[in-house]
Amino acid sequence: MMKLVKTVASALTLATTLGAQAAPVVNLFELGIRQGQAVQYDEVGKHNITTSINTEQGTLAMYSMKQKAQPNMAYMFEIYADEQAYQTHIQSAQYKVFLQASPTILTDHKKRISLEPQFLADKAVKQTPETINNLVIVEVKPEWNQKFRELVIPEMKQSMNVEKGVLAMYALTEKDKPNRWYFYEIYASEQAYQQHRQTPHFLDYLKQTGKMLQDKQSVAVTPSLLMNKGGLFFEK
């Protein structure tokens, strides 16, 4: 009987710990680069990203990309284990170097989009010239939002599990507008992405969710530097 009590107590303690675990902190920044400062932006960004991923335990992913149509419009997508990890990062020497350079390399266009992670999963990303990334913003009809969630997250899980060329899939919602979804995905190549689009699970997702969408915007982006630790899995 005592052994049973200890087992139950241990299970309850574990459940409490997992339940209390904070969700990862995810930031999406939209940044305007000053004319003629793209090289400097990339250099400072590379220093910040490589140093942070290699030395900060709680910095899980940092992805730098630019709009294809407007290369002077950049995005930074970042994932931290928790708020403490994010605070550690913004006190780091490499981040302060980026801040000091910002007035010279960035325009006044600096936008932080507050996001709530719904599903985060990745493998270790080893960027090559073939690596591609996608940024998609979807507005779901409010009455369909929960059903949309029930369909999209299993589809993403399956994609990560069975498709070798799918390297990362992240689904997030705007904190002040939970029916506005942001999807950021990384594929090993264009071929891997096209293969993904033909899978039964993706086609079924498209078929079932088409009527639920109010608006869809694909932001064509080119990866500049993509780095992560790999092995992340989070579901709200």
Confidence class for position 155, pLDDT limits 50, 70, 90: very high
**2 found inside a domain:** no
Residue 11 lies in a domain: no
The per-residue pLDDT for range 194-225, each reduced to its tens digit, is: 999 999 999 999 999 999 999 999 999 999 99
Query: d(Cα 207, Cα 113) in Å, to the nearest integer?
Result: 29
Write the DSSP assignment of 69-82 as a string of letters.
S-TTEEEEEEEESS
Q: Does residue 40 carry a pLDDT above 50? A: yes
Report residue 71 CA to chain centroid gap.
20
Of 29, 234, 235, 25, whose CA–CA distance to 116 is shortest? 25
Average pLDDT over residues 28-39: 97
φ, ψ (nearest 5 deg) of residue 123? -110, 170
Ramachandran sector of residue 108 (left: φ over 0; alpha: ψ -120 to 50; beta: rest) = alpha
Is pLDDT above 80 for 15?
A: no
pLDDT of residue 72: 96
Q: How confident is the model at residue 231 (pLDDT cuts 50, 70, 90)?
A: very high
The pLDDT value recorded for residue 8 is 32
CA dihedral 154, 160, 165, 168 (to 10 degrees): 100
d(CA 88, CA 78): 14
Chain centroid to CA 148: 19
Label residue 172 by pLDDT band (50, 70, 90): very high
Question: Can you say how many angstroms the Cα of residue 55 is from the centroid of all Cα atoms in its chain?
Answer: 20
Distance CA 230, CA 126 (A): 10
Could you tell me if residue 98 is inside a domain?
A: yes
Count structural domains, the chain: 1
Report yes or no on 209 lying in a domain.
Answer: yes
Q: Is 5 part of any domain? A: no
- Average pLDDT, whole number, for the chain? 91
The domain that holds 163 is classified in CATH as: 3.30.70.100
In a domain, 16, yes or no: no
Residue 48 lies in a domain: yes
- Cβ-contact 20, 63 below 8 angstroms: no
Strand ranges inside the chain, DSSP E: 25-33, 59-67, 73-80, 106-122, 132-140, 166-174, 177-187, 213-219, 221-228, 233-235
Q: What is the pTM of this model?
A: 0.89
Range of the structural domain that residue 207 is part of: 24-235
CB–CB of 85/202 below 8 Å? no
pLDDT surpasses 60 at 14: no
Q: Is there a domain that residue 18 lies in?
A: no
Q: Measured in whole angstroms, how far is the alpha carbon of residue 111 from the centre of its chain?
A: 16
pLDDT range class, residue 21, cuts 50, 70, 90: low
* Residue 19 scores a pLDDT above 60: no
Kindly state the average pLDDT of the residues 152-168: 97
User: Is 13 a residue whose pLDDT tops 60?
Assistant: no
Query: Which pLDDT does position 22 carry in this prediction?
Result: 77
Would the pLDDT of 2 be above 50?
no
